[in-house]
Amino acid sequence: MKNIRYLSGFLAISCLIAAAPSLAQDPAVVTSEAAAVAQVATASPATVPVAGYLLQPGDVLQVSVWKETELQAEAVIRPDGGLSFPLAGDIPLAANRTVDQLRLELENRLRRLVPEAVVFVTLKTPAGNQVYVVGKVNKPGNFIMNRPTDVMQALSMAAGATPFADVNDIRVLRRENGRQLALVFHYGDVSRGRHLEQNIQLQGGDTVVVP
């Protein structure tokens, strides 16, 4: 009887060992993992973070098509964010795209009529990427931001505040989702290295108000 019990225990352990690989390769698990990989691979481009400068209304582009001298022109992104180009027609959503994304859109449209079309797009002037500095500064106006610009740098572009300015009550006006925000900026704090989170990086269309 003792030998029979040992034999039964040995057979049970052997069965568990033999089943282990099949459990690791459970078809349900493999199918689930494959589906997850496929879902990532086929994710909509809209869910992928976009890197690079996003075009804005007012930006001036140079567009050309290889070996097509008649398809070379400057194109300006309209205030509504659209853009028009010969043979490509109207592109209503040119703004908030990178230069390369817009180039691909133009190329796909042109290839309906010019199968071998190779399109080149360059940003000639980022005229839409402007910040406005108004109020008691020495040179108020609008300034094109050719590089990332914070509030202190924008004040410098406007030649600084006048002697009568209230530099500790500066506001940055910004529109987001149709709503206007007023962001506080205290020059005295930032100039002393305190509360540096106020010295935000400006976005195209921001207005710095110096009372």
Concatenate the DSSP letters of all residues of 136-197 into one string.
Answer: SBSS-EEEE-SS--BHHHHHHHTT-B-TT--GGGEEEEEEETTEEEEEEE-HHHHHTT--GG
User: Which pLDDT score is estimated for 38?
Assistant: 38
User: Which pLDDT score is estimated for 131?
Assistant: 96
Q: Which residues of the chain have pLDDT under 50?
A: 1-50
- Residue 93, CA distances (Å) to 8, 130, 191 in order: 73, 20, 41
Q: Return mean pLDDT, the chain.
A: 81
User: Which pLDDT score is estimated for 51?
Assistant: 57
- d(C-alpha 124, C-alpha 174), whole Å: 26
User: How many Cα atoms occupy the beta-carbon half-sphere of 112 within 13 Å?
Assistant: 8
Interacting residues of 101 by C-beta distance below 8 A, sequence separation 6+: 50
- d(C-alpha 101, C-alpha 83), whole Å: 13
DSSP state at residue 29:
H
Question: What is the chain's length?
Answer: 211
CA-CA-CA-CA dihedral for 200, 76, 125, 134, to nearest 10 = -40
Sign of CA dihedral 95, 74, 72, 51: negative
Taking the complete model, does pTM exceed 0.75, yes or no?
A: no
User: Which pLDDT score is estimated for 12?
Assistant: 46
Tens-digit pLDDT profile for residues 63-79? 999 989 889 999 999 99
The helix/strand/coil state of 80 is: coil
User: Which pLDDT score is estimated for 37?
Assistant: 35
CA-CA-CA-CA dihedral for 80, 205, 140, 170, to nearest 10 = 150
- d(C-alpha 142, C-alpha 157), whole Å: 10
User: Which pLDDT score is estimated for 23?
Assistant: 39
